[in-house]
Structure 1
Amino acid sequence: MSAQQSQGIQTLLEAEKEAAKIVQQARQYRVQKLKDARSEASKEIDEYKKAKEDEFKAFEASHAGTTSNAQNAVDKETESSLKAITDSYTKNKDNVVKKLLDRVVLVEPELHRNLRAQS
């Protein structure tokens, strides 16, 4: 019987070793799957980030033209207003200077309204 018992014990030890190998392989498989899942998630995050950056750049480019067009319109309007003011200045400066000189030089003396004629 002792041979049968030792053979039974030997079989149990071999089964235990085989079970330990299977458990170790399962742990390694689980660790590898976690690494693969992290790697895949990282790739998805990078792809999503790149897609959003491209979308933002497209949005920015489409609206940058609008800002440029608005700036050009404002510049043209300012330039035309400035030209109109300059033309008006050039046209009327002689008349204004003449009126100012007439007011300063041609003074007609008169009595103040509060001064009463004394009788």
Structure 2
Amino acid sequence: MSAQNSAGIQTLLDAEREASKIVQKAREYRTKRVKAARDEARKEIEEYRARKEAEFKKFEAEHTQGNKAAEEEANKEAEARISEIRTAGKKNQDKVVQDLLKAVFEVKPVAPSRE
């Protein structure tokens, strides 16, 4: 009977070792699947990010063109006004200088009035 018990115990130990190996393989498989799922999720996130970045750059390019055109138009208008002011200044420069000199050299005192 003791040989039979010993054989039974040996069979149980072998079964336990086999079950332990199966459990270990299942853990390894699960770990690999988790890593694979994580890598796949990262890849999807990067693809999504790249797609959205491209959409944003396209949107930005489309809307920046309008701003650049408006900015160029405003710069042209400003340059035209500055040119007009310079031309008017050069045209009336002599008269302005003469008026200033006249005001300085031809003093006309005025008595203060009581209010």
Same fold (TM over 0.5): yes
Listed as ranges, the gaps of 5+ residues in structure 2 are none
| 1:53 counterpart = 2:53 | yes
Cα distance change on mapping 1:113 and 1:46 into 2, 3 Å:
closer
The CA RMSD measured in Å over matched residues stands at: 3.0
Letter in 1 for 2:78: T
| 1:88 counterpart = 2:73 | no
- Deviation track 1:26-77 (CA, whole Å, cap 9, x = no partner) reads 1111111111122112112211221222222222222321221122111111
Letter in 2 for 1:71: E
Cα distance change on mapping 1:35 and 1:101 into 2, 3 Å:
closer
Q: What is the distance in 2 between the residues matched to 1:103 and 1:35?
A: 90
Q: Which has the larger radius of gyration?
A: 1
Listed as ranges, the gaps of 5+ residues in structure 1 are 115-119
Provide the identity percentage.
50
1:37-116 mapped onto 2 (5 Å cutoff): 37-96=37-96
Determine helix, strand or coil for the equivalent of 2:9.
helix
Q: What is the distance in 1 between the residues matched to 2:111 and 2:63?
A: 68
- Deviation track 1:60-116 (CA, whole Å, cap 9, x = no partner) reads 2223212211221111111221222233334444554565666677x6x8x9769xx
Specify the alignment match of 1:34 in structure 2: 34
Cα distance change on mapping 1:8 and 1:78 into 2, 3 Å:
same
Q: What is the distance in 2 between the residues matched to 1:83 and 1:30?
A: 77
Higher mean C-alpha deviation, range 92-101 or range 50-59:
92-101
TM-score for the superposition, normalised by structure 1: 0.70
Cα distance change on mapping 1:56 and 1:113 into 2, 3 Å:
closer
Letter in 2 for 1:7: A
